[in-house]
Structure 1
Amino acid sequence: MAFDHQEEEQLASLKAWWSRYGNAATWVLVAGLAAYSGWTGWQYYQRTQSVEASALYDELQASVGKDNAKVQRAAADLESRYGRSSYAQMAALAAAKSAFDASDLKTAKAKLQWVIEHGNDEYKAIAKIRLAGVLLDEKAYDAALKALDGEVPKQFSAAVSDRKGDVLAAQNKLAEARAAYLAALAGTTEKSPARQLIELKLEAVGGTVPEQKPAAA
């Protein structure tokens, strides 16, 4: 009987606890389950989005160099439907190159600007350098320099300086161009295939290529 009495006391305590806290506990449990369900649903959505974006990007790549209109349509679809994905940024860069090759500079600039506004730091840097190149071709020198403003990841700083040198040389600002090319050389490794070209451009604007330091023994 003592055991039965203990069970009755425990049951009474449980009933009292449930009466006081049970409803709140249920809400917490439901909220937790909803959060978990939402997380797993979001993960599934992300995976599905990635697969779909990848397929559309592959379609775009297959059209590069063959059908510029198709490239532009695929890039537009990726931007509108999967704009936060890396595929959309890569597609915009590819579409800009396709448009440039088709002499559609307006579209090329628009695609590069989209990447600058929506891309991650690395893709933004690439877009800035390419946009400055398009503007350089148009002789829009001030706009080209403005496109290169702002911070970029360290690995792109030499390329930015190199492009600045190109723009400044085109403006006949030779002293500033030399400084830009020297900055580009300072950020370029000796084994880089770009180094020789930067050296040639530096010499073309009256600069002197700095002597390379001997390798450490």
Structure 2
Amino acid sequence: MAYDLEEQEQIATFKAFWSKYGNLITWVLILALGAFAAYNFWNKHQRDQAVAASGLYDELTDAVTAKDNAKSQRIAADIQAKYKRTSYAQMSALAAAKTAFETNDLKTAKAQLQWVIDNGNDEYKSVAQLRLAGVLLDEKNFDRAMKLLNGTFLPQFAAEVSDRKGDVLVAQNKIVDARAAYVAALAAMGPKHPGSQLVRIKLEAIGGTAPDAAKKAA
């Protein structure tokens, strides 16, 4: 089929363009397709990891319910070793710490909580720090507990941190400071917080007075 002059010019222009940029365009497409394939593979890998970790976590919750500390620790260790990048690893450490604490295995409880502090995201880390401070309080390791509570927490944990500080200060017989900590906890909790009544009771037990807002809510 004969081409008219305009079509021949368009073909010539395209050939010149492709001759100059064809290899570059081809490599860009190859890289884009490769990146897309890698992205899909990574997402599938993440989903597979989450499914496998979820199955183990279900076993862990059964062990925790049965207060089987040895089994809980084995499963948690397995999840942490194989699926460290999933949220189930952090959740498993917190669950295993709970079982260890309830069976008076404080060394293991502290180790599991420290694992979350070292490896978890900010939210799980804040939870682990609060719980570890509680374990240290039970061990009468007041200085370390307070050092932990003076660390970095997400803002939404301010009330719980102040409450726990009050507990540590009462144990140290620093009553004036404990009152201030409980008042700060009540202020951070607000009137509808489910833990405010308990904090108010603890405050009044050491001769403190709850803020007006907390009294009205109670």
Q: Name the structure 2 match of 1:191.
A: 192
Residue 36 of structure 1: how far off its partner (Å): 0.8
Q: Separation in 2 of the partners of 1:95 and 1:111?
A: 7
Q: Name the structure 1 match of 2:37.
A: 37
Q: Separation in 1 of the partners of 2:24 and 2:215?
A: 73
Query: Is it true that 1:182 corresponds to 2:183 in the alignment?
Result: yes
Can you give the 5+ residue segments of structure 2 that lack an aligned partner in the other structure?
none
Q: Name the structure 1 match of 2:143.
A: 142
Q: Name the structure 2 match of 1:52.
A: 52
Q: Name the structure 1 match of 2:124.
A: 123
Could you report, residue by residue, the CA deviation over 1:91-141 in whole angstroms, capped at 9, with x for unpaired residues? 110000011112111110011111112222221111111100100011100
Number of positions where the alignment pairs a residue of Structure 1 with one of Structure 2: 215
Residue 6 of structure 1: how far off its partner (Å): 4.6
Give the residue type in structure 2 aligned to 1:178: R
User: Tell me, what secondary structure is at the counterpart of 1:151?
Assistant: coil
Could you report, residue by residue, the CA deviation over 1:143-190 in whole angstroms, capped at 9, with x for unpaired residues? 001111233223211111000000011111111111101101111233
Alignment of 1:161-180 (within 5 A): 161-180=162-181
Residue 5 of structure 1: how far off its partner (Å): 5.0
Give the residue type in structure 1 aligned to 2:42: W
Q: Separation in 1 of the partners of 2:215 and 2:194?
A: 19
User: Tell me, what secondary structure is at the counterpart of 1:64?
Assistant: helix
Residue 16 of structure 1: how far off its partner (Å): 2.6
Residue 205 of structure 1: how far off its partner (Å): 2.0
Q: Name the structure 2 match of 1:156.
A: 157
Give the residue type in structure 1 aligned to 2:154: P
Q: Name the structure 1 match of 2:22.
A: 22
Give the residue type in structure 1 aligned to 2:185: A
Can you give the 5+ residue segments of structure 1 that lack an aligned partner in the other structure?
none
Q: Name the structure 1 match of 2:134.
A: 133
Q: Name the structure 2 match of 1:61.
A: 61
**Which sits farther off after the overlay, 119-128 or 134-143?**
119-128
Q: Name the structure 2 match of 1:13.
A: 13
Q: Separation in 2 of the partners of 1:94 and 1:208?
A: 36
User: Tell me, what secondary structure is at the counterpart of 1:187?
Assistant: helix
Percent identical: 60
- TM-score (norm. length: structure 2): 0.90
Q: Name the structure 2 match of 1:212.
A: 213
User: Tell me, what secondary structure is at the counterpart of 2:73?
Assistant: helix
User: Tell me, what secondary structure is at the counterpart of 1:139?
Assistant: coil
User: Tell me, what secondary structure is at the counterpart of 1:94?
Assistant: helix
Residue 49 of structure 1: how far off its partner (Å): 1.2
Query: Is it true that 1:113 corresponds to 2:142 in the alignment?
Result: no
Q: Separation in 2 of the partners of 1:36 and 1:81?
A: 26
Q: Separation in 2 of the partners of 1:200 and 1:30?
A: 68
Residue 3 of structure 1: how far off its partner (Å): 2.6
Q: Separation in 2 of the partners of 1:132 and 1:198?
A: 17
